[in-house]
Chains A and B, each alone.
Chain A
Amino acid sequence: DTAVSQTPKYLVTQMGNDKSIKCEQNLGHDTMYWYKQDSKKFLKIMFSYNNKELIINETVPNRFSPKSPDKAHLNLHINSLELGDSAVYFCASSQDRGLAGEETQYFGPGTRLLVL
């Protein structure tokens, strides 16, 4: 009954490789996010999708490409991995943004990416 799930939980890979992280939410939420958390625990938003449409795209290298096949899924593909990409990546979802004002986000367990 996991509300927001991510796979894999751990990802160890070599520099230059391409990898994907998958995220699914079963909460019926309209909006999904990807965050990057560095070693100092700082959480920074990367992308946000609302009903499969990209609404936030922070200053993220274009090696990172989100894909939302449907409202319940938001995957993150990373090309040509670099050492600095090592971090914990969190997926999150929320009910609605805007008029409803419901902005509580539900986070997945995180994917720990280590680039060697």
Chain B
Amino acid sequence: GESVGLHLPTLSVQEGDNSIINCAYSNSASDYFIWYKQESGKGPQFIIDIRSNMDKRQGQRVTVLLNKTVKHLSLQIAATQPGDSAVYFCAEGHTGGFKTIFGAGTRLFVKA
């Protein structure tokens, strides 16, 4: 069946360090992957996405890596800041589909 999961449910990093949040997916038909950030008391917010014809995409301080061979997705946050503390979700979908499947989420703690 379809599933999107995370290796690390909780991640604690020192301010200024880089963070890596990992995600595994199992649906080979998925061709679109998204990372969302959910701060306390708020709804998830789009961070960055990547399509299956790419293996890397960079944004502002964030990079998403996609390894289709092992069905693995990661989110790298450079110079992690206290404001990055949140729950991060990976999600997958496919062109033509109407459903996005969310992973279980990873909570990121940033220590000052």
Contacts and interface: CB of A to CB of B under 8 A. Distances in A.
A7 to B, nearest CB: 14
Contact of A41 (B46, B95, B105): B105
Report which residue of A99, A106, A107, A108 has the largest number of chain B beta carbons within 10 angstroms of its beta carbon: A107
B11 to A, nearest CB: 14
Nearest to A48: B98
A46 to B, nearest CB: 11
Given A31-B98, A50-B98, A98-B95, A110 B104 contact: no
Given A48-B98, A99-B96, A101-B95, A109 B43 contact: yes
Going nearest first, the 4 A-B pairs with the smallest beta carbon separation are: A107-B43, A43-B102, A41-B105, A97-B98
Given A31-B98, A48-B98, A104-B49, 7 more contacts: A40-B104, A42-B102, A42-B105, A45-B99, A56-B99, A90-B44, A109-B42
Interface of B: 32, 34, 36, 38, 41-46, 49, 51, 87, 89, 93, 95-102, 104-105, 107
17 contacts: A43-B89, A43-B105, A45-B101, A90-B43, A97-B96, A97-B97, A98-B96, A98-B97, A101-B32, A103-B93, A103-B100, A104-B46, A107-B36, A107-B44, A109-B41, A109-B42, A110-B43
